[in-house]
Amino acid sequence: MSTLLAGRLRWLLIFWMFLMSAIAYLDRVNVSIAGQAIQKDYGLTNVQLGWVFSSFVIGYALFQAPGGRLADRYGPRLVITIGVVWWGIFTTLTALVPTGIALSVTILIAVRFLLGLGEAVVYPSSNRLVAAWIPSEERGVANGLIFAGVGAGAGVTPPLITWILVNWGWQWSFYVSALIGLVAGLGWYLLARDNPRQHRLASQGEIAHIEAGLPPASVQSQDALPWGAILANRNLLAITVSYFTYGYCAYIFFTWFFIYLSRVRGLDLKSSALYSMLPFIGMAVASPLGGWIADKLTAAYGKRVGRCGVAVFGIALAGVFLALATQVESARLASIVLAGGAGALYLSQSAFWAVTADIAGSSAGSASGLMNMGGQIGGAVTASLTPWIADRFGWTPSFLVAAGLCILGALLWLAVDPTAVIVRRQAAPAIR
C-alpha cells in the first residue's frame, strides 16, 4: 500500500474529498428533485417550498465561519467526520417529518436548517486540508478536483433520486443518501490525517515536496489569525462579495432548475431529470479544467493572471450564457446553453479557494468559511428571490438578474491581490 501511494498520498486525500463533496451535494440537491412530491404531500406553495430550500442554505451559511474555525482548531479529519454523522441523521429526519399536522412545514424547515449546520463544515475543512497538504502551485487542480464533486454529485442526483422516487417513494431517496454519506465518512476517518507528518503512509519525499511548496512560514503559523485581521482584509472581503454573486447564480441550478425545466419549459419528469444533469456535468468537467488552467497560468505569469484572470473570465462568461439562454425558445437548447453557463461559472471555482488558502495559511478554514458564508447567503437569496421574481415578472428577468450579478462578481476580482497574505495587526506601541 505504501509503495502504491509513494509520493501520491495527498492526491488520494483529494480524491476522497471529491467523493465527500459529491455526497454532500447528493444530500443537498435531492430535496429539489423530490420537491414536487414534497409539495404534494405537505401542501406547500412555491414560496413555502422556497422557504424549505432557503432554510438549509441559511443554516449552511451561518455555520461556515464557525465550521472553518473548528477545522483550524481541531483539524479537518475530526470535524468532517462529525459533520457527516450529523448530516446523515438530519437527512433521514427530513423523510420522517409527519404530514397533515399544523407544524409539519415548520418542522420540515427546522430539520433542513439543522442539516445545513452539519454540512457547513465540509468545504472550509477541505480548504484547511489543502493548506496543509497541497503545495501552492498545485492548489488550482486540487480545489478543482474537490469541487468537481459538486457537479458529479449534483449530476448523478436527478436520475438516481428520480428512479428511487418513482420506484420506492421520495422518502427512500433521503434514506439512501444518508447511508451513502455515513459509509464515506467512515472511510474518511480511517484514511485522513490533518497534516503529512501525522500520516504513516506519507513518504519523506512527499513531505519535503509539500513543505517546499507551502507559502511563507509566517502564514503557516499554527496560531489562528484573529477574526479582526480576517474581517478587515480588503482582498478577502472582495472575494467574499464576489462569492455571493457566484452562489446566487449557482443555486439556481441546485434549487429551481429541475422545476423550471418541467413546469416552465414543459419537459416531462424523465426528460427533466436527463437535461437537468447537463449543468452538473458542465461543473464536473470545468472545475478541474479551470484549476489546471489556473495552475499553468500561475506558473507562467503569476497569480494575478492565473488566479484573478481565470476568475474574471469564468464568472463573466457565465453571465453571458445566462443572458443568452433567456432568448432561446427550444427547451432542450436552452438547457444546453444554461449548462454552458454552469460550466463557465465553475471554471472560476478553484480560484476562490486557492487564493484563500494562500493568503490565510493555517487559518484557511476560517477565511474560506467566511468567504463561503457569502456564497451561501447568495444561495439563500436566490432560493427565495428567484421564484418571487418569476411569479411577478417572469422567468426571463430571474435569469437576467443572475447574469448581472455575475458581471459584478467578475469585476470584483480586478481589485484582488492574490499575493498579499493576511497578517496580524500590530498593537500600537505604548506611549512612554
Domains of the chain and CATH, by start: 9-415 (1.20.1250.20)
pLDDT at 426 over 60: no
CA-to-CA dists, residue 171 to 10, 34, 93, 96, angstroms: 37, 9, 10, 8
Query: Taking the model in full, what pTM does it have?
Result: 0.80
Instruction: Reply yes or no on whether the pLDDT at 312 is more than 70.
Output: yes
Q: Tens digits of per-residue pLDDT, 101-129?
A: 778 888 999 999 999 999 999 999 999 99
pLDDT tens sequence across 362-406? 788 899 999 999 998 898 788 778 888 888 888 888 889 999 999
Residues 153/30, Cβ–Cβ less than 8 Å: no
Nearest Cα residue to 29 out of 283, 332, 302: 283
pLDDT digits (tens, 9 = 90+) for 140-149: 999 999 988 8
pLDDT band at 409 (very low <50, low <70, confident <90, very high): very high
Please report where in the chains the cell 474529498 appears, as a residue: 17
Q: What is the pLDDT of residue 396?
A: 82
**Cβ-contact 181, 94 below 8 angstroms:** no
pLDDT higher than 60, residue 427? no
- On whether the CB atoms of residues 312 and 243 are closer than 8 A, the answer is no
**Confidence class for position 271, pLDDT limits 50, 70, 90:** low
- Taking residues 73-77, report their average pLDDT: 92
pLDDT-derived band at 431 (thresholds 50, 70, 90) equals: very low
pLDDT tens across 160-202, in order? 888 888 899 888 989 998 999 999 999 999 999 999 999 988 8
What local confidence, expressed as pLDDT, does residue 405 receive? Answer: 95
Q: Is the pLDDT of residue 218 over 50?
A: no
| Res 251: pLDDT | 83
For 235-251, the pLDDT digits (tens) are 999 999 999 999 999 88
pLDDT at 75 over 80: yes
Say if CB 23 and CB 152 are below 8 A apart: no
Buried b (16+ CB within 10 A) or exposed e, 274-289: bbbbbbbbbbbbbbbb
Mean pLDDT score, 280-297: 90
Q: How much is the mean pLDDT over the chain?
A: 86
What proportion of the chain, given as a percentage, has pLDDT over 90? 44
Residue 222's pLDDT is: 58
Q: How many CB atoms lie within 10 A of CB 220?
A: 14
Tell me the C-alpha distance between 151 and 135, whole Å: 25
End-to-end CA distance of the chain: 63
pLDDT digits (tens, 9 = 90+) for 26-46: 877 788 788 888 888 888 887
Query: What pLDDT is recorded for position 236?
Result: 95
Of 285, 288, 295, 339, the closest CA to residue 317 belongs to 339
Whole-angstrom distance, CA of residue 200 vs CA of residue 36: 49
